[in-house]
Amino acid sequence: MTSPLSVIILAAGKGTRMQSAKPKVLQTLAGKSLLGHVLDTCHQLTVDDTIIVYGFGGEQVQDHIAHQYAHLPITWVAQTEQLGTGHAVKVTLSELPKDGQSLILYGDVPLVSCQTLATLQAANTDGMSMLTLTVNNPFGLGRIKRDQAGNIEAIVEQKDATSDEQQIQEINSGIYCVDNALLHKFLPKLSNDNAQQEYYLTDIVKMAVADGITIAAIEPEHTFEIEGVNNRQQLASLERTWQGKLVADLQEAGVQFADPTRVDIRGTLSAGQDVFVDVGVVFEGNCTLGDNVYIEAGCIIKNAQIGNACHIKPYCVIDKATVGAGVDIGPFAHLRPETILSDNSKVGNFVEIKKSTIGHGSKVNHLSYIGDATIGTGVNVGAGVITCNYDGVNKSQTIIEDNAFIGSNSSLVAPVTIGDTATVAAGSVITKDVDANALAFGRARQTQKDDFQRPTKK
């Protein structure tokens, strides 16, 4: 039977060096808060309890989690004084079960992987396991001191290390998996008898060794998994590192990027074969691209599904839309939520579509607004056409049936239906239904005054 698992996330730091009114753990990386990354990762495991230790900006942190992670049961514990990492974990004891084990994580160390945490948990067979890393330059970091048998015997801080100990390249990440019984035993014994007068979590390693506990250590696959964020420069650096990892994974799956350093993925992106992504493209939320999709520069794609062989021209915004196969979009098109483009349809320059369906092979090529509409197959919508869907109070539907032709600069005042193979003359204002195969025009009669003299400037 699997031991119950608690997760303790230390998220009380102010992050003074961020120079922000927001708590550090609410700063964003790849479109998600640092704390959100940690929560999403650890909850890929089977977690029984989640305890978040909060401090500065606690109300902001709680509001964010309540909004974004309402599905997760969270226990909140306040750390009213910043007295060190040992103290931060100690304040959870009143809420921490006495059985099972706990992962101790940090709200400002966002990129530890689920696989690493699962391995760390599995390695805890004798009461404690910890995440370490071998680095080329360990200066300033706590060293992992081992005995002749290779067992961990202490964590030595830089200021306390001898010249020999300073040569040790294995460092402490601060991430642990510890039996709850040991936390209840060791944490009340922590002392702040040191220069900083803080309670150090690393002291539980010394206590475990004194109790004869063999501490297991594992290393993550990637160095960035243990990197924390303390200032804007570190945040930007970690952002680029993470984007590089996401792009590299997609390249291995067959996606071609014009410049891997000039794309942002702020969520999840899955893609088929022979996809091309030009520079400056931003993906947000959950996006899916089919095979042979070609995306030109500067597009923003949010929570969208793009079918096979689509061509998205420069500077389009696609938000919560579904695009079929073989569709041409843009440039400068805006697909708003609940837009559906059927196979082989076309949406062109400066077209905005909202909560509408464009049928198979239909075209909305230029300078048009289509809202709350259903457009059938083989329809041509001319330049500057507007569906007038809002009367100031209610929104109404426009229906354009198969093979209709809507002339340029027409306004379709909803609710209205344009019948099968009907034609609307250019410049018309249509307020009544148009029958199938009919021609409708609703515009003022043209008049002319010959020999008109323009006004002259006085």
Residue of 129, 110, 87 lying closest to 3 (CA atoms): 129
Rg of the chain on CA atoms, in Å: 31
Task: Find the mean pLDDT for residues 167-180.
Answer: 95
H or E segment at 271?
A: strand 263-271
Which run of H or E residues covers position 346? strand 346-349
Tell me whether residue 446 is in a domain.
no
d(CA 37, CA 69): 11
Residues of the chain with pLDDT > 70, as a percent, come to 100
Contacts 24+ apart (CB under 8 A), 143-148: 143/168, 143/170, 143/171, 143/172, 144/168, 144/170, 144/171, 144/172, 144/217, 146/170
Question: What is the structure's pLDDT at 158?
Answer: 82
Dist. CA 330–CA 347, nearest whole Å: 6
- Same domain, yes or no, for 60 and 142? yes
Query: What is the per-residue pLDDT across 225-278, written as a single tens digit (0 to 9) for each?
Result: 999 999 999 999 999 999 999 999 999 999 999 999 999 999 999 999 999 999
Q: Domain containing 183 — which CATH number?
A: 3.90.550.10
> Is 352 part of any domain?
yes
Q: Which of 164-173, 291-300, 323-332, 333-342 has the lowest mean pLDDT?
A: 164-173
Contacts with 446 (C-beta within 8 Å, 6 or more apart), sequence order? none
Query: Does a structural domain hold residue 210?
Result: yes
DSSP string, 175-186: EEEEEHHHHHHH
CA distance linking residue 198 with residue 183, whole number of Å: 17
Do 192 and 302 share a domain, yes or no? no
- What pLDDT does 139 receive? 87
* Cβ contact 11:35 at 8 Å: yes
Please tell me whether residues 316 and 293 are part of one structural domain. Answer: yes
Domain boundary (226, 243, 259) is at: 226
Active site residue ranges: 366
Residue 265 and residue 389 in one domain:
yes
- Report pLDDT for 374: 98
Q: Which of 180, 202, 226 is the last residue of a domain?
A: 226
Average pLDDT over residues 161-176: 92
Residue/partner pairs of 238-246 with CB below 8 Å, 24 or more apart = 238/29, 238/110, 238/111, 239/29, 239/30, 242/29, 242/30, 242/111, 243/30, 246/30
* Pair (159, 259) in one structural domain: no
Structural domain containing residue 181: 5-226
Q: What is the CATH number of the domain that holds 375?
A: 2.160.10.10
Q: Are residues 140 and 244 located together in one domain of the fold?
A: no
Q: Rounded distance, CA 187 to CA 203, Å?
A: 9
Q: Do residue 298 and residue 243 come from a single domain?
A: yes
- Give 163 or 258, the one with higher predicted confidence: 258
Same domain, 181 and 293: no
CA distances from 408 to 2, 348, 349, 389, 439 (A): 68, 14, 14, 18, 14
CA gap 266, 384 in Å, rounded: 34
Residues 254 and 186 in one domain: no
Residue 259 domain flag: yes
Average pLDDT over residues 409-428: 97
Number of domains in the chain: 2
Does residue 457 sit within a domain? no
- CB neighbourhood size of 177 (10 A): 25
Residues 246 and 179 in one domain: no
What is 45-74 written as a DSSP string?
S--SEEEEEEBTBHHHHHHHHHHH-TTS--
- The string of pLDDT tens digits covering residues 17-58 is 999 999 999 999 999 999 999 999 999 999 999 999 999 899
Cβ pair 375, 400 in contact under 8 A: yes
For residue 285, being part of any structural domain is answered with: yes
Is 248 found in the same domain as 172?
no
- Residues sharing a CB contact under 8 Å with residue 63, sequence separation 6 or more, in sequence order: none
pLDDT for 193 beyond 90: no
What pLDDT is attached to residue 53?
97
Total-model pTM:
0.90
User: Do residues 244 and 351 share a domain?
Assistant: yes
The Cα-based distances of 51 to 151, 205, 372, 408, 446 in angstroms read 30, 22, 45, 60, 74
314 is a domain residue: yes
**455 part of a folded domain:** no
Residue 198: other Cβ atoms inside 10 A: 15
Residue 429 contacts residue 409 (beta carbons within 8 Å): no
Q: What is the dihedral of CA 42, 43, 45, 49, to 10 degrees?
A: 90
Which of 208, 226, 244 terminates a domain? The answer is: 226
